A and B are shown apart, each in its own frame.
Chain A
Amino acid sequence: MLSIDRSIVEAIVAHARRDHPDEACGVVAGPAGSDIPTRHIPMDNAARSMTFYEFDSMEQLRVWREMDDRDEEPVVIYHSHTATEAYPSRTDVSFAGEPGAHYLLVSTREPDTEEIRSFRIVDGVVTEEPVRIVDAAVDPHAVQSYMFGQSPATVDYECSGR
């Protein structure tokens, strides 16, 4: 299962909408071994195509090095399909080179709704997995309403008055 923060999903969808009808692509990095996507990195689609995406090789080197330096790994690799369903194509499968990553697909073919699905692709085998969209417990940039029974962190946040 992929657990991913709602704000990251919203940022991915916004990226996909912005680049529509071209395919959009990117990465969500997370601490190595954590399986938690935390840092959204929209990437250029070097192919600038409605039917193909490709990371720019130099941008990829920079981003992959940065992840290495920060002890992160690509937890999610995402791209959009702009006229078809959010399911990996044969090309997606043949290129899938990060066995530890969640391959997230967003379909923007409907103007008002997005189809968001996640897959593991290992040795050419595609396995769909559930996507759990989670709301952050504490968002330091937003004023939160207090609800009794929330985590101590949230209560602290409320009481600190920041």
Chain B
Amino acid sequence: MAIEVRIPTILRSYTGGAKVVEGAGDTLGDLLTDLDSRHAGLKARLVTDAGALHRFVNVYVNDEDVRFLGALDAKLNDGDSVTILPAVAGGAFGFAAAAALSQHRASVAGRVAHDAAVAAH
């Protein structure tokens, strides 16, 4: 038995056009490594250089979003069905900008706290 993986349109260039492929692995990470051995380049579209699941995709095991199952560490069993969908998101002032801003805010807050600590001494 194997794990059935449903591939979205945008990634079918890696699977020779196939909508469904099969793979094996004890975790989602293992499965993606296994798939990448036959569909080179697929994993890099799903996993960041830092080794996390990409923000631009949703991956489901059976009916669950893997973000709630441990992401790449999500456990898999033979007969599971994995579905990959493009995350649909965007907006006038986007996620990337919002993330950059919150990081900037965090660093400003850290600096202010540091300055205050220095001033107190």
Whether chains A and B associate is yes
Q: State the A residues within 8 Å of B (CB).
A: 23, 25, 43, 47, 49-55, 57-58, 60-61, 64, 73, 77, 79, 81-84, 88-92, 94-100
Q: Is the CB of A89 within 8 A of B65?
A: no
Number of interface residues of B (CB under 8 A): 25
Residue on A with the closest CB to B65?
Answer: A57
State the CA gap A61–B8 with chains docked (Å): 12
Determine how close the nearest CB of chain A comes to the CB of B30; give it in whole angstroms.
Answer: 22
Cβ-Cβ contact count across A and B, 8 Å cutoff: 102
State the CA gap A57–B58 with chains docked (Å): 7
The verdict on A58 contacting B65 (CB below 8 Å), with A64-B85, A98-B9 known, is yes
Give residues of chain B (75-90) contacting chain A, Cβ–Cβ below 8 Å: 83, 85-90
9 contacts between A and B (CB under 8 A): A52-B90, A53-B91, A54-B89, A54-B95, A57-B65, A61-B58, A91-B89, A91-B97, A98-B8
The verdict on A51 contacting B87 (CB below 8 Å), with A57-B65, A99-B10 known, is no
State the CA gap A4–B47 with chains docked (Å): 36
Describe A's contact surface by its main secondary structure: mixed
Determine how close the nearest CB of chain A comes to the CB of B24; give it in whole angstroms.
Answer: 23
State the CA gap A48–B78 with chains docked (Å): 38
State the CA gap A58–B69 with chains docked (Å): 14
Q: Is the CB of A100 within 8 A of B58?
A: no
* B38 interface contact, C-beta 8 A: no
Q: Is the CB of B91 within 8 A of A92?
A: yes
Instruction: Please give me the 4 A-B residue pairs with the lowest Cβ-Cβ distance, nearest first.
Output: A91-B94, A97-B86, A51-B93, A92-B90
* B67 interface contact, C-beta 8 A: yes
Q: Is the CB of A60 within 8 A of B95?
A: no
Q: Is the CB of B85 within 8 A of A61?
A: yes
User: Which residues on B sit within 8 Å (CB–CB) of A51?
Assistant: 91-94, 98
State the CA gap A82–B85 with chains docked (Å): 27
User: Which residues on B sit within 8 Å (CB–CB) of A100?
Assistant: 9
Q: Is the CB of B87 within 8 A of A54?
A: yes
State the CA gap A54–B91 with chains docked (Å): 8
Q: Is the CB of B9 within 8 A of A52?
A: no
* B119 interface contact, C-beta 8 A: no
User: Which residues on A sit within 8 Å (CB–CB) of B85?
Assistant: 60-61, 64
Residue on B with the closest CB to A90?
Answer: B94
User: Which residues on A sit within 8 Å (CB–CB) of B63?
Assistant: 61
Determine how close the nearest CB of chain A comes to the CB of B90; give it in whole angstroms.
Answer: 4
State the CA gap A57–B98 with chains docked (Å): 20
Q: Is the CB of B93 within 8 A of A55?
A: no
User: Which residues on A sit within 8 Å (CB–CB) of B98?
Assistant: 51-52
* B57, B58, B83: residue with the most chain A Cβ atoms closer than 10 Å: B58
